Structure 1
Amino acid sequence: MDRPVVAVGALVWGPDGRVLLARTTKWRGLWGVPGGKVDWGETLSDAVRREFREETGLTLSDVRYAQTQEAVLSGEFHKPAHLLLVDFFARTDTHEITPNEEIEEWAWVPLAEAAGYPLNTVTHTLVELALHSEAGSRGEA
């Protein structure tokens, strides 16, 4: 019997304050953030650190929970799936990417420009949350 799959992803800030966006093989040409499935016995934060290491070569720090979303049979995803997506915010100390086969293209962009990319729906929601959080931390909410 099919069951929902738990996956993690993160919006990551580089050392100069830009965020990492990536176009992968799994979202039909749309941009998103690196991430993937949680392994049995693995914590969510360990999973997001591992996925980033595997997909980009980056080491994450300051990993903090952002939100949880669902993608139930999303037409944006490359195959029928019910995904429970646990999103994080994180930092890294380099812009040097070593992409694996899933990453087709990537860009470090100012957060304010991220929503201008053709993002998948779940990443758009994560970027909007980051923009709102950033405005709130500056007293602009």
Structure 2
Amino acid sequence: MRRTANGILLKDKHILMIKKPRRGWYAMPGGKMELGESVKEAVTREFQEETGLLLEEPQLSGVYTYIIQNDEEIEMEWMMFAFSAKDYTKDLVSESEEGELEWIPISDVLDKPMAEGDRLIIKHAIERDEIMYGTFYYTPDYSLLSYRLDPSIK
């Protein structure tokens, strides 16, 4: 099973997002964990590789299972560990190989095009400090079929 770690950086009423070129969707910077790496090491490394920024004291904010389902057949499954941070060191890169980096006002971030599950994960990180657990079911073209969250949010 693939494992990923993503970071949500909330600073000065903004969130740093990356606009992916393939769909034009916004996402949390992060990526695949390497063999033997802890989830915190992974989010720190991946976030810095994509943004140039070193997260300070990232805190686990959610653990999620993603399932890609075509009719009743499961095509792929992976886990994502989401972290939140409120500060960083180092400098933002001028260009990222992964997409366009953009500081988005918190008031606007949920209106951006993104995977529907990501919208719920970001909303949770903005509004609550507790860890959320969840499972998201998507079609192969990333239309959200259903989800379960604990604690639940609207």
Compute the TM-score of the two structures, normalised by the length of structure 1. Answer: 0.76
> How do residues 112-123 of structure 1 correspond to structure 2 at under 5 angstroms?
112-123=107-118
1:6 aligns with 2:3: yes
1:17 aligns with 2:13: yes
> How do residues 1-141 of structure 1 correspond to structure 2 at under 5 angstroms?
4-14=1-11, 16-25=12-21, 28-73=23-68, 81-93=76-88, 96-98=91-93, 99-103=95-99, 105-133=100-128
- Which consecutive residues of structure 2, in runs of 5 or more, have no partner in the other structure? 130-154
Give distance in 2, aligned partners of 1:34 and 1:20: 8
Kept in 1: contact 2:59–2:84 (CA 8 A): yes
Secondary structure of the residue aligned to 2:63 is strand
Compute the TM-score of the two structures, normalised by the length of structure 2. Answer: 0.70
Query: Structure 1 residues 74 and 10, CA, compared in 2 at 3 Å: closer, same or farther?
Result: farther
Kindly state the Cα deviation for residue 7 of structure 1 after the two structures are TM-superposed: 0.3
Secondary structure of the residue aligned to 1:60 is strand
Percentage of matched positions with identical amino acids: 25
RCO greater where, 1 or 2, for CA within 8 Å and sep 6 or more? Answer: 1
Query: Structure 1 residues 116 and 59, CA, compared in 2 at 3 Å: closer, same or farther?
Result: same
Kindly state the Cα deviation for residue 48 of structure 1 after the two structures are TM-superposed: 0.3
Query: Which stretch shows the higher mean deviation, 17-26 or 115-124?
Result: 17-26
Query: Structure 1 residues 74 and 59, CA, compared in 2 at 3 Å: closer, same or farther?
Result: farther
Q: RMSD over aligned Cα, in angstroms?
A: 2.3
- Which consecutive residues of structure 1, in runs of 5 or more, have no partner in the other structure? 135-141
Query: Structure 1 residues 20 and 74, CA, compared in 2 at 3 Å: closer, same or farther?
Result: farther
